[in-house]
Chains A and B, each alone.
With several copies, the nearest count.
Chain A
Amino acid sequence: MNTITVKFFARLREQSGVDAMDLEIGDMTKLSELIAQLQDQHQDWTILQQKNLMAAVNHSMITDDCLLAAGDEVALFPPVTGG
């Protein structure tokens, strides 16, 4: 098992009630699988279900799927609204 950190921001942080959590994932876990797992476990975090959910892995925006590795920092958040 590999430990990764998942961070939440903005409305998703408020819904989840946590800034960040450490999770154990299996080898060859995809980002999409992690998100699906979180959606299953936390159906009240409605932001996770939104199709415009954004994801970053190790501070880079990820638009396609990718494999996660031990130590990765995954961030999930709604579309950005700065500036």
Chain B
Amino acid sequence: MDFINIQNEDFNVQQQYDALSQSNTRDGAVVLFVGRVRDFNEGEQVTEMVLEHYPGMAEKCLEDIVAKARERWDINRVRVIHRVGLLSQSDQIVLVGTSSPHRGSAFAAAEFIMDYLKTDAPFWKKEISDQGERWVEARNSDETQKKRWQ
């Protein structure tokens, strides 16, 4: 019941929600997270962004993270989509969706997957602003977020 995909194309939130909820009378709770390109990062005007990934490893890493989430919480359907390539301001980057009989499990699993994705999955962002190109630096706060689950 896992759908994990790395793609150039945009995704539609309703379609992802439908895939989590349709013909699913068991799960009363659905949680969706969407990460989007913000207009600023450390003060520069970001206009575009390039997302690079490590093909093969990125997919495996996302599968491993979802498997870990399944060990910890009672979740039934999981969807993870990560876009790569050239993205513009406000574009959707990533979606994580979970369904569960219990809202606590759906929330926790979705946040866990995002926290591990941020620190472990081989994706890299390069921001393109009026100042030129700049590889995004990893943030310590992401490590801190992950450590909450350990």
Genuine A/B complex: yes
Residues of B near A79 (CB, < 8 A) are: 137-138
Q: A37 on the interface (CB 8 Å rule)?
A: no
Q: Inside 8 A of A75's CB, which chain B residues have their CB?
A: 54, 57, 122
Q: How far is it, in angstroms, between the C-alpha of A13 and the C-alpha of B50 when the chains are bound? A: 14
Q: Which of A4-12, A25-33, A38-46, A64-72 contacts the other chain? A: A4-12
Write the chain B residue with the least CB distance to A13: B52
Chain B interface, number of residues (Cβ within 8 angstroms): 28
Say whether B125 contacts A82, CB under 8 Å.
Answer: yes
> What mask results when residues 5 to 30 of chain B are scored 1 for a CB within 8 Å of chain A, else 0?
00000000000000000000000000
Inter-chain CA distance A29–B9, complex, in Å, is 41
Query: What's the Cα separation between A40 and B57 when bound, in Å?
Result: 27
A5 to chain B, nearest CB (A): 12
Structural contact, B125 and A81, CB atoms closer than 8 A: yes
Q: Return A39 CB to nearest CB of chain B, in Å.
A: 20
Write out the residue numbers on chain A whose beta carbons fall within 8 Å of the beta carbon of B56: 59
B117 at the interface (CB under 8 A from A): yes
Instruction: Answer whether A59 and B124 are a contact pair too, CB < 8 Å, given A52-B138, A81-B138.
Output: no
Contacts of A13 in B (CB 8 A): 52
Which residues in B have some Cβ–Cβ distance to A below 8 Å? 35, 51-54, 56-57, 60-61, 82, 93-94, 103, 114, 117-126, 135-138
5 contacts between A and B (CB under 8 A): A77-B122, A79-B138, A82-B124, A83-B94, A83-B118
